[in-house]
């Protein structure tokens, strides 16, 4: 029975900002444990889509169901408690607090006080910031702050993880590490990743959804999508060909 | 500094504060003791805003609304009951309830920070004007005449708990007021060390992130605001106990502005700083007042400008930074990774 209900189902989702239609009648389905990449040129509406999924924006029309429960229009913290975690495109971290405290704030919602210490340490290890545990986040590099945010998302153990450009500003080696982490957490959880870096997409992707001007342009396996001429056209020389 | 070291130092500091509070009446004149009692009451008010602004990120321009409500609640209740025990309790509960109602509309109505300032300011003005226009026998709560702009004279001062016949002496009043100051300070320190306090700070740091992790910033801010209102109300009771008198000037906007100056001078984001800022500024104001040479508001303005320009962090954080620099071992965590981790193999930290 449970298998029949998709993890996430958005139907006819539209988000307008005045005259701008950022999301235009989007229908999107994600199964349990799925790993999906979401690509599309700048302004295609990817981040807006994530914001409606996480309660940062209330969609103009349409429905969103998380395991069958409607979530469109709910407050962010309610959706977070239901099990959706997000790393936003513009980093959202607690700048004035230490790395450890950032992670702890994410861990403590689910873990008992006894579990919290080990859980925080495990996440620090995973994001390779153990040596920086007591540093104030504001003093870290941009790439490290990205890691802190990814660490917080992982630490909260959500059922669905949304990552908006997780590899932005990372070195090749760091990007590779991110891809490895994504594959690892996908063993137990569903993930949607927005990325522009096609090398990165190739490292992780199974199915890819392409947004263009607020609509779903194509949705298929990574090879078919990258071979699709329409996709090449909308990217116009972006790294797709590589 | 290792943890147990710091804890020991803090315990010693608290013990020293207790001893100082206990011994002060034996050392100074009655007049000076009365002045210190007033400063201690005001310092409790300073703590209320230091907490909600410095840790909750809520800048209220009308903290005197709760201070005044506390003062009036105390006065009315003390006159009616002829016992300060329930009156002090009401001086905490009534401002807290008022803060709950106001906070509900402000935070759950998703009103922006600018309007938060405007609303708190307006509410204070409304309270001032309302209480100001309660002259005449019609404005009576129980046996207590509100008295309009003349205020309420001869308010019963604190008595021993549940023993109205034993009124506190000035020394006992000092011990009570300074004791409350110390207790509120320690309670806030404890709260800020507990998960609840860490969440309050997290919401100040980044509301969006907090909500994306499942914390409700509206609720957190509302509760912070309520606690701030309760503490300000308690300060109001201490203030009325000091003067046995309350008038609408307790709601004054200039006092609201003064609290902000105390905190700016002492150090936003600390609890000790605003207490020091309050005492220093109030001492200066009282001194200038007795000299009649300069205008106190002018001097206050100058002090504020000097601090904003030269010591923008305020006294306590600046002093702390100095100490950290002088004692290399005590490097704060803000200074980034330790030497050992800087040699770690990954490329990070090369900012
Ligand atoms: N708050 C807003 N108000 C008005 N317009 C907005 C707002 N947020 C997004 N938009 C517009 O909606 C469209 C989609 O923006 P969105 O950020 O979702 O694109 P994106 O696919 O994430 O782009 P990028 O790859 O650059 O991150 C853009 O035209 C953008 O200007
Ligand atoms: Mg985007």
Residues B122-139 have pLDDT tens digits of 999 999 999 998 888 888
Q: What is the ipTM of this complex?
A: 0.92
DSSP state of A216: E
Q: Domain-by-domain residue ranges, chain A? A: 1-73+192-242
Exposure of B252 in the CB half-sphere (CA atoms within 13 A): 10
**Token pair 């917080």 is at which residue?**
A152
Which of A54, A144, A173 comes nearest B212 by C-beta? A54
Q: How confident is the model at residue B309 (pLDDT cuts 50, 70, 90)?
A: confident
CATH class of A1-73+192-242: alpha beta
Q: Quick one: residue B128, left, alpha or beta (phi over 0 = left, psi -120 to 50 = alpha)?
A: alpha
Q: What digits encode the pLDDT tens for the residues A55-72?
A: 999 999 999 999 999 999
State residue B127's pLDDT score.
Answer: 94
Q: Average pLDDT over chain B, rounded to whole?
A: 88
- The C-alpha atoms of residue A192 and residue A194 are separated, in whole angstroms, by 7
Q: Up-side HSE of residue B2: CA atoms within 13 Å toward CB?
A: 3
pLDDT at A239: 45
Which residues on chain A are in Cβ contact (under 8 Å) with B334?
A: 135-136, 139
Pick left, alpha or beta for residue A25 (phi over 0 → left; psi -120 to 50 → alpha; otherwise beta).
left
Q: How far is CA B15 from CA B9, B113, B186, in A?
A: 10, 40, 12
Instruction: Tell me the per-residue pLDDT of B275-291, one tens digit each, with 9 for 90 and over.
Output: 999 999 999 888 887 77
Beta bridge partners of A35: A191
Task: Work out which ligand 1 atom sits closest to the CA atom of A48.
Answer: 18
A105 CB near a chain B CB, below 8 Å? yes
A3 in reach of chain B (CB within 8 A): no
Cβ neighbours of B214 (radius 10 Å) = 22
A82 lies within 8 A of chain B by CB:
no
Is A89 touching ligand 1 by the criterion CB < 6 Å?
yes
Question: Among the atoms of ligand 1, which is closest to the Cα of residue A15?
Answer: 12
In this prediction, residue B318 has a pLDDT band, given cuts at 50, 70 and 90, of confident
Lowest mean pLDDT among A43-57, A66-80, A228-242, B92-106: A228-242
**Domain ranges within chain B, ordered by starting residue:** 2-17+36-349
User: Three-state secondary structure along chain B?
Assistant: CCHHHHHHHHHHHHHHHHHHHHHHHHHCCHHHHHHHHHHHHHHHHHHHHHHHHHCCCCCCCCHHHHHHHHHHHHHHHHHHHCCHHHHHHHHHHHHHHHHHHHHHHHHHCCCCHHHHHHHHHHHHHHHHHHHHCCCCCCCEECCEECCHHHCECCCCCCEECCEEEEECCHHHHHHHHHHHHHHHHHHHHHHHHCHHHHHHHHHHHCHHHHHHCCCCHHHHHHHHHHHHHHHHHHHHHHHHHHHCCECHHHHCHHHHHHHHHHHHHHCCCCCHHHHHHHHHHHHHHHHHHHHCCCCHHHHHHHHHHHHHHHCCCCHHHHHHHHHHHHCHHHCCHHHCCCHHHHCCCCCCCCC
Average pLDDT over residues B269-273: 94
C-alpha–C-alpha distance, residues A59 and A25, integer Å: 11
Range B313-324 average pLDDT: 87
Do B201 and A97 make contact, defined as CB atoms within 8 angstroms?
yes
B318: which residues sit within 8 A by CB, 6+ positions away? Answer: B267, B311
CB contact under 8 A, B333 and A134: yes
Collect residues with CB below 5 Å from ion ligand 2. Answer: A 47, 89
Q: How does pLDDT run across B42-88, given as a tens digit for each residue?
A: 999 999 999 999 999 999 988 999 999 999 999 999 999 999 999 99
For residue B11, report the distance from its CA to the centre of ligand 2, in Å.
51
pTM of the model: 0.90
Asked if residue A223 has pLDDT above 80, the reply is: yes
State the Cα–Cα distance between residues B244 and B227, nearest whole angstrom: 25
Region for B314 from its dihedrals, namely left if φ exceeds 0, alpha if ψ lies in -120 to 50, beta otherwise: left
Q: What is the pLDDT of residue B1?
A: 55
């Amino acid at each position: 029975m449970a298998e029949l209900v998709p993890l996430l189902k958005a139907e006819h989702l539209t988000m307008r900002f005045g005259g701008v239609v950022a999301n235009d009648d989007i229908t999107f389905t994600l199964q349990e444990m799925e790993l999906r990449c979401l690509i599309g040129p700048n302004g295609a509406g990817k981040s807006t889509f994530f914001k409606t999924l996480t309660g940062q924006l209330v969609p103009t029309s349409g429905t969103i169901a998380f395991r069958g429960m409607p979530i469109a229009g709910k407050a962010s913290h309610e959706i977070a408690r239901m099990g959706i975690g997000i790393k936003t495109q513009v980093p959202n971290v607690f700048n004035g607090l230490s790395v450890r405290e950032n992670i702890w704030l994410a861990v403590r919602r689910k873990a008992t006080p006894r579990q919290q210490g080990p859980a925080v340490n495990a996440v620090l290890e995973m994001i390779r910031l153990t040596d920086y545990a007591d540093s104030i986040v504001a003093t870290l590099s941009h790439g490290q702050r990205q890691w802190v945010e990814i660490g917080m998302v992982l630490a909260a153990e959500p059922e669905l993880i949304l990552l908006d450009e997780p590899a932005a500003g990372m070195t090749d080696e760091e990007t590779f590490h991110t891809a490895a982490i994504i594959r690892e957490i996908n063993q137990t959880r569903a993930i949607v990743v927005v990325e522009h870096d096609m090398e990165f997409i190739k490292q992780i992707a199974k199915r890819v959804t392409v947004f263009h001007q607020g609509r779903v342009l194509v949705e298929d396996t990574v090879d078919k999508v990258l071979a699709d001429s329409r996709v090449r056209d909308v990217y116009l020389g972006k790294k797709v060909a590589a | 500094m290792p943890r147990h070291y710091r804890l020991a130092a803090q315990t010693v500091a608290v013990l020293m504060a207790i001893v100082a509070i206990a011994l002060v009446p034996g050392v100074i004149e009655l007049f000076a003791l009365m002045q210190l009692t007033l400063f201690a009451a005001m310092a409790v008010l300073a703590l209320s805003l230091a907490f909600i602004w410095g840790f909750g990120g809520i800048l209220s321009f009308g903290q005197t609304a709760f201070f005044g409500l506390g003062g009036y609640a105390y006065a009315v209740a003390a006159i009616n009951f002829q016992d300060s025990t329930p009156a002090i309790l009401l001086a905490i509960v009534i401002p807290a309830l008022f803060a709950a109602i106001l906070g509900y509309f402000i935070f759950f109505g998703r009103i922006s920070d600018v309007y938060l300032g405007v609303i708190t300011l307006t509410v204070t003005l409304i309270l001032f004007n309302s209480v100001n226009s309660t002259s005449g026998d019609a404005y009576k709560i129980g046996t207590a005449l509100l008295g309009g702009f003349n205020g309420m004279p001869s308010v019963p001062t604190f008595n021993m708990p549940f023993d109205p016949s034993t009124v506190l002496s000035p020394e006992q009043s000092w011990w009570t007021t300074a004791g409350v100051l110390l207790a509120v300070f320690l309670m806030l320190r404890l709260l800020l060390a507990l998960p609840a306090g860490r969440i309050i700070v997290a919401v100040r740091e980044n509301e969006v992130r907090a909500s994306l992790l499942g914390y409700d910033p509206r609720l957190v801010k509302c509760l912070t605001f309520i606690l701030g209102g309760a503490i300000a109300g308690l300060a109001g009771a201490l203030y009325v106990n000091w003067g046995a008198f309350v008038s609408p000037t307790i709601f004054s906007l200039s006092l609201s502005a003064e609290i902000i100056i105390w905190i700016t001078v002492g150090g936003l984001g600390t609890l000790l700083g605003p207490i020091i800022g309050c005492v220093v500024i109030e001492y200066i104001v009282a001194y200038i007042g007795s000299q009649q040479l300069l205008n106190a508001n002018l001097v206050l303005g100058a002090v504020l400008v000097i601090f904003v320009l030269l010591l923008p962090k305020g006294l306590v954080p600046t002093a702390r930074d100095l100490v950290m620099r002088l004692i290399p071992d005590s490097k704060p965590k803000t200074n980034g990774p330790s030497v050992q981790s800087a040699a770690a193999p990954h490329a990070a930290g090369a900012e």
